[in-house]
């Protein structure tokens, strides 16, 4: 019997590959998998912790969440409640931009209301806001993987380095396989993975119809959700006649 664990930082409006990894932990093992959200990690301004891309008529555009205390771990970073974009409250600006660019997509009316509810009450903490969106999108995609926040694990899982911590976390949730993103090959210490098998996610971005002409990859997962209503498989080419 095998159980798979994966982990990722609580990014804002993550891209489809994030949810592909979340779905994969249930499919690769013989037992239900676990997805750890690394809310303990350091906030990085130019990462995807408080920003992501959406598709617009002439390409793409960043959505940014204004934050305070950006030198803290993610779980402690606060949203700037007074933050404004183009003299508009940031959450209102996001909703207007999302609606303007996606309201004519096939699945907008089905999935947008739940996202809007989260935006109307974003709360004080960035990670909590992001996690609520992540759980909402996972539900929309039909993903039932168990989600655990890293700070809920015993303090003993913290190792001498990132690789050792991931091994300890895997053991703590009873997983014997750790599924890593492909980019982690640059920093993971493979020698730490002795009792836990290390497996890499082989993700190729799918291609699917978007509202505007041409295809632009690596948008927030709301792009694929509003356009086709489900999460495509790695490398899938979706053809839908409208």
- The 10s digit of each residue's pLDDT in 3-35 is 999 999 999 999 999 999 999 999 999 999 999
Distances (CA, A) of 70 to 47, 127, 130: 12, 12, 15
Contact 137, 144 (CB under 8 A): no
> For all residues of the chain together, what is the average pLDDT?
96
Mean pLDDT value of segment 180-199: 91
Nearest to 144 by CA among 228, 34, 14: 34
Q: What 3-state DSSP class applies to 38?
A: coil
Contact 21, 59 (CB under 8 A): no
DSSP 152: G
How much is the pLDDT for 187?
85
pLDDT reading at 186 higher than 90:
no
pLDDT reading at 46 higher than 90:
no
H-state helical runs in 38-107: 90-102
Contact 178, 198 (CB under 8 A): yes
Q: Which domains does the chain have, with CATH numbers?
A: 4-228 (3.40.50)
Question: What does the chain come to in residues?
Answer: 242
How much is the pLDDT for 142?
98
């Amino acid at each position: 019997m095998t159980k798979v664990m994966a982990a990722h930082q609580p990014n804002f409006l993550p891209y489809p590959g994030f949810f592909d990894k979340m779905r994969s932990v249930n499919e690769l093992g013989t037992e239900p998998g676990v997805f750890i959200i690394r809310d303990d990690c350091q906030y990085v301004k130019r990462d995807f912790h408080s920003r992501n891309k959406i598709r617009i008529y002439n390409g793409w555009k960043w959505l940014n969440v204004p934050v305070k205390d950006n030198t803290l771990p993610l779980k402690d970073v606060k949203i700037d409640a007074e933050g404004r974009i183009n003299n508009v409250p940031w959450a209102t600006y996001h909703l207007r931009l999302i609606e303007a660019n996606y309201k004519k997509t096939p699945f907008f009316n089905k999935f947008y209301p739940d996202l809007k509810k989260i935006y109307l009450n974003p709360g004080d903490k960035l990670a909590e806001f992001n996690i609520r969106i992540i759980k909402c999108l996972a539900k929309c995609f039909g993903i039932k993987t168990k989600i655990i926040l890293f700070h809920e694990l015993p303090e003993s899982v913290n190792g001498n380095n990132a690789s050792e911590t991931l091994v300890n976390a895997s053991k703590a949730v009873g997983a014997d396989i750790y599924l890593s993103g492909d980019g982690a090959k640059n920093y993971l210490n493979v020698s730490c993975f002795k009792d836990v098998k290390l497996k890499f996610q082989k993700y190729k971005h799918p291609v699917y119809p978007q509202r505007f002409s041409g295809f632009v990859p690596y948008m927030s997962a709301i792009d694929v959700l509003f356009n086709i209503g489900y999460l495509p498989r790695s490398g899938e080419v979706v053809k839908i006649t409208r």
